[in-house]
């Protein structure tokens, strides 16, 4: 029907068109009330282009099924009051209806309307679907791809000084849950960053601001967040000590792994070591670390296996797994048969510290002296011996009339 | 040394007309050394990556052989084999001392136990090295050979005990204090390092790479050495046996060509592995 009308209309002279349009306008002004079919008469041709080559065609059936399908063209294209309309018309103002969303954009990282028109996320203006519709660009399972249009682009990331996060997200536990399992509840970009009022993580009002991260993750991971807030790190963050780690410091923001995965277990001890330098260095001296540093053996104790991961409590707390009363049970999780004597093992002993670990200090000193004295004595002994033997050998061969060496 | 005499008699061949060969090590002793050095190389190759687990080569090696699980498996396997060899050796000592009442096992010229002559030999040898005296006349076992033996003996007790204490930590904790579990790792790794550095530098040079034996002393593989070597390296033993009129009992035949070649190949491989590990150890020790 639209096609036929279009073809017909193109064939008639512009005078006739003007006349016809004027008649319609007179009959039913303003344009908003005009049936879509009138506009689609021209714009229903999907290949229609304006003078500068931009597509101005509308896929009529798709538009009709979209959330705006029941609106009249003039509801959005309010600047067009008559036919023929000027070549250049002012852009559609979405905020006329979507005032809240527009207000949200103000001050956000996407505030520039020129760089980030609504369509950059919501897709083609004439095929916008509700976010609950799988066809929508902002349907939960489509959000990462939509954001990834820009945030999966290395050039664009470089230009804005951002990390190219899209590939990291896709390979993360959230990305897998979303793309492989199709879990609607899996965190997508906007679960953490919000949608319209997206702020830099440096902005204290942002849900990705360091102090707000536990609450943001807690929107889904409520139990873990409650544990975390009860531990030393959560309390420190609550007290405004932002050196303390939040969820993303250990789990990262985008490349989040299954915490039991070997890659996570292998890479994560140094994260604690960033702050707990002395504990990390003494851990490195132990068999736990030696075992754990070589690939393929991930069961060995890492920081959180003894200290807990989220509700980390000081050893003085009777609920702490490293409280004296709980050590047999904590160590016993790996070391079957651990007894009271066994748990006096110091997982952070420092053999270089005479005051803290005198026995260990002197044992190490003795071993080092033994090593140094035996090796230096025999080194000198061997070198002298070598020189003398060689000297004798050369002399002997000369005496025998043979060649040297 | 009844073993030695038996071995010589058992060979049953007349001495060569041109050059005579004498037995120095019995078959059992040679096998013991073979078990000792193969398990030692294995323990060093699997122990060093643990000791220097932060260095790149350790991680590459570990992932190459199947990760830490494989490393610790082989480390324990070699340890058990070496422990068995050690226990067999200890049993032999007891048998010779208590059952066969061999007096020479704890003192006398063929004993492994140090004596006053060894002290004199050490200083005499050092004087000779700097040109201040004649070369000492060594007996069956020279002082550095006795040191090698006791270093390995002590090392096996210390490294073995500390290793088993870590392996069966909860069991050992029944009668050891908690801090001892910290100490055993320090002791195990330092003593292991000493053994590795000592064997791969000092023992290799003293026994194999020095000009008189270069590139290696095959006697530990073939069991026999030529009369000339015997005379120059251990003149006192040669004279003592000659004066006792027992030279004949020690005469054997020249080692078979295949045995010599086989020994050279095995020895070369062992020395090359050892030197490689030595370089890696030193680079990790001074690089970290």
Strands B21-23 and B224-226: antiparallel
One digit per residue, the tens of pLDDT, for chain B of length 288 reads 444 544 444 444 444 457 899 999 999 999 999 999 999 999 999 999 988 988 889 888 888 888 778 889 999 999 999 999 999 999 999 999 999 888 888 888 889 999 999 999 999 999 999 999 999 999 999 999 999 999 999 999 999 999 999 999 999 999 998 889 999 999 999 999 999 999 999 999 999 898 888 888 999 999 999 999 999 999 999 999 999 999 999 999 999 999 999 999 999 999 999 999 999 999 988 876
Phi-psi region of A107 (alpha: psi -120 to 50; beta: other; left: phi over 0): left
Report the residue of B188, B211, B214, B232 to disrupt the A interface, i.e. the one with the largest count of A CBs within 10 Å: B211
**What average pLDDT does this structure show over A338-354?**
91
H-type alpha helices, chain B = 2-11, 27-51, 56-64, 67-94, 116-129, 143-167, 169-172, 178-197, 219-222, 227-233, 235-244, 247-250, 257-287
The predicted complex's ipTM stands at: 0.89
Q: Is-above-0.95 flag for pTM?
A: no
Helix (H) or strand (E) holding B115: none
Q: In Å, how far is A325's CA from the nearest CA of chain B? A: 15
Mutant choice from B51, B52, B68 vs A, greatest count of A C-beta within 10 A: B68
Distances (CA, A) of A264 to A55, A175, A296, B248: 48, 16, 13, 70
Q: Which residue has the higher pLDDT, A362 or A21?
A: A362
d(CA A185, nearest CA chain B) in Å: 37
Residue A182 has pLDDT above 50, yes or no: yes
Write down the pLDDT at residue A162: 84
Counting one residue from chain A and one from chain B, the pairs whose CB atoms sit within 8 A come to 152
Contacts of A329 in chain B (CB under 8 A): none
Q: Which residues in chain A are contacts of B50 at CB distance < 8 A? A: 287, 290-291, 294
Of B129, B176, B194, the CB nearest to A388: B129
How many CB atoms lie under 10 A from the CB of residue B204? 19
* A386 vs B contacts (CB less than 8 Å): 205, 210-211
Task: Calculate the dihedral angle through the C-alpha atoms of B246, B248, B253, B255, rounding to the nearest 10 degrees.
Answer: 10
Distance from A365 to chain B by nearest Cα, in Å? 10
pLDDT tens column, A184-214 = 999 999 999 999 999 999 999 999 999 999 9
Q: Decide if pLDDT at A26 tops 60.
A: no
Say which residues have a Cβ less than 8 Å from residue A48's Cβ, sequence separation at least 6: A42, A55, A56, A57
Reading phi first (left if > 0) and then psi (alpha if -120 to 50, else beta), residue A90 is in beta
Cβ of B62 within 8 Å of Cβ of A295? The answer is yes
Rounded average pLDDT over A41-53: 83
CA A347 to CA A357: how far, in whole Å?
A: 12
Residue B143 buriedness (CB in 10 A; 0-12 / 13-18 / 19+): buried
- Mark yes or no for CB contact B186/A357 under 8 Å: no
Chain B residues closer than 8 Å to A338 by CB:
170, 173
Q: Do A339 and B171 touch (CB under 8 A)?
A: no
Q: A77-108, pLDDT tens digit by residue?
A: 888 877 778 878 888 889 889 999 999 999 99
Domains assigned to chain B: 2-287 (1.20.950.20)
Q: How confident is the model at residue A34 (pLDDT cuts 50, 70, 90)?
A: low
Q: What is the mean pLDDT of residues A340-345?
A: 91
Return d(Cα B194, Cα A368) in angstroms, integer.
9
pLDDT value at position A368?
95
Three-state secondary-structure class, residue A1: coil
Task: Provide the 10 A C-beta neighbour count for residue B205.
Answer: 19
Tell if the CB–CB gap between B186 and A379 is shorter than 8 Å: no
Contact assignment for B50 to A294 by CB distance below 8 Å: yes
Which chain A residue has its CA at the smallest distance from B182's CA?
Answer: A345
Rg of the Cα atoms in chain A: 36
Inform me whether the pLDDT recorded for A172 exceeds 50: yes
Q: If you measure CA to CA, which chain B residue comes closest to A347?
A: B182
Residue of A267, A341, A343, A379 to mutate, testing the B interface (most B Cβ within 10 Å of its Cβ): A341
Report the pLDDT value the prediction gives residue A295, as an integer from 0 to 100. 64
């Amino acid at each position: 029907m639209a096609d036929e009308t279009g073809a017909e209309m193109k064939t008639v002279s512009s005078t006739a068109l003007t006349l016809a349009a004027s008649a319609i306008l007179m009959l039913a002004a303003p344009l908003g009330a005009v049936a879509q079919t009138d506009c689609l008469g021209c714009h229903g041709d999907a290949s229609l282009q304006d003078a500068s080559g931009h597509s101005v065609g509308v896929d009529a059936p798709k538009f009709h099924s979209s959330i705006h399908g029941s609106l009249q063209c003039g509801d959005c294209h309010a600047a067009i009051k008559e036919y023929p309309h000027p070549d250049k018309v002012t852009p559609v103002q979405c905020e006329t209806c979507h005032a809240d969303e527009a207000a949200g954009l103000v001050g956000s990282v996407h505030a520039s309307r020129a760089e980030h028109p609504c369509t950059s996320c919501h897709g083609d203006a004439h095929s916008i679907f509700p976010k609950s519709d799988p066809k929508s660009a902002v349907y939960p399972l489509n959000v990462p791809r939509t954001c990834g249009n820009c945030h999966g682009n290395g050039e664009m990331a470089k230009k804005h000084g951002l990390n190219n996060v899209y590939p990291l997200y896709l390979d993360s536990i959230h990305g897998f849950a979303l793309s492989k399992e199709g879990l609607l509840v899996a965190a997508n970009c906007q679960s953490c960053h919000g949608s319209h009022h997206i702020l830099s993580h440096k902005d204290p009002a942002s849900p990705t601001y360091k102090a707000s991260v536990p609450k943001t993750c807690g929107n889904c991971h409520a139990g873990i967040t409650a544990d975390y807030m009860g531990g030393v790190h959560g309390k420190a963050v609550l007290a405004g000590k932002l050196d303390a780690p939040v969820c993303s410091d250990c789990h990262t923001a985008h490349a989040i792994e299954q915490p039991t995965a070997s890659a996570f277990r292998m890479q994560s001890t140094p994260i604690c070591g960033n702050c707990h330098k002395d504990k990390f260095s003494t851990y490195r001296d132990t068999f736990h670390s030696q075992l754990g540093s070589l690939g393929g053996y991930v069961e060995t104790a890492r920081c959180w296996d003894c200290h807990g991961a989220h509700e980390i409590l000081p050893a003085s707390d009777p609920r702490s797994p490293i409280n004296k009363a709980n050590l047999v049970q904590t160590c016993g999780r790996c070391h079957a048969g651990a007894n009271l004597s066994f748990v006096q093992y110091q997982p952070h002993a420092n053999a270089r510290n005479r005051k803290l670990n005198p026995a260990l200090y002197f044992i190490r000193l003795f071993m080092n002296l033994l090593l140094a004295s035996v090796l230096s004595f025999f080194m000198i002994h061997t070198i002298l011996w070598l020189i003398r033997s060689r000297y004798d050998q050369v002399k002997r061969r000369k005496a025998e009339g043979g060649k040297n060496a | 040394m009844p073993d030695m005499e038996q071995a010589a008699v058992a060979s049953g061949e007349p001495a060569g007309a041109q050059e005579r060969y004498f037995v120095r090590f019995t078959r059992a002793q040679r096998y013991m050394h073979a078990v000792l050095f193969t398990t030692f190389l294995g323990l060093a190759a699997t122990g060093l990556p643990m000791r220097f687990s932060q260095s790149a080569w350790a991680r590459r090696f570990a992932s190459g052989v199947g990760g830490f699980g494989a490393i610790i498996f082989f480390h324990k396997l070699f340890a058990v084999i070496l422990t068995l060899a050690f226990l067999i050796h200890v049993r032999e000592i007891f048998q010779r001392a208590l059952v066969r009442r061999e007096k020479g096992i704890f003192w006398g010229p063929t004993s492994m136990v140090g004596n006053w002559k060894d002290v004199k030999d050490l200083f005499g040898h050092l004087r000779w090295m700097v040109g201040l005296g004649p070369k000492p006349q060594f007996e069956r076992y020279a002082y550095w050979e006795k040191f090698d033996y006791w270093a390995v003996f002590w090392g096996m007790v210390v490294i073995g005990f500390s290793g088993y204490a870590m392996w069966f930590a909860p069991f050992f904790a029944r009668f050891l204090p908690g801090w001892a579990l910290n100490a055993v790792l320090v002791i195990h790794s330092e003593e292991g390092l000493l053994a590795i550095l000592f064997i791969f530098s000092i023992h290799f040079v003293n026994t194999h790479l020095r000009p008189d034996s270069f590139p290696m002393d095959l006697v530990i593989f073939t069991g026999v050495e030529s009369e000339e070597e015997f005379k120059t390296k251990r003149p006192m033993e040669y004279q003592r046996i000659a004066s006792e009129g027992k030279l004949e009992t020690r005469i054997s035949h020249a080692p078979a060509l295949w045995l010599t070649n086989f020994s050279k190949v095995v020895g070369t491989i062992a020395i090359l592995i050892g030197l490689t590990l030595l370089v890696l150890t030193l680079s990790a020790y001074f690089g970290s």
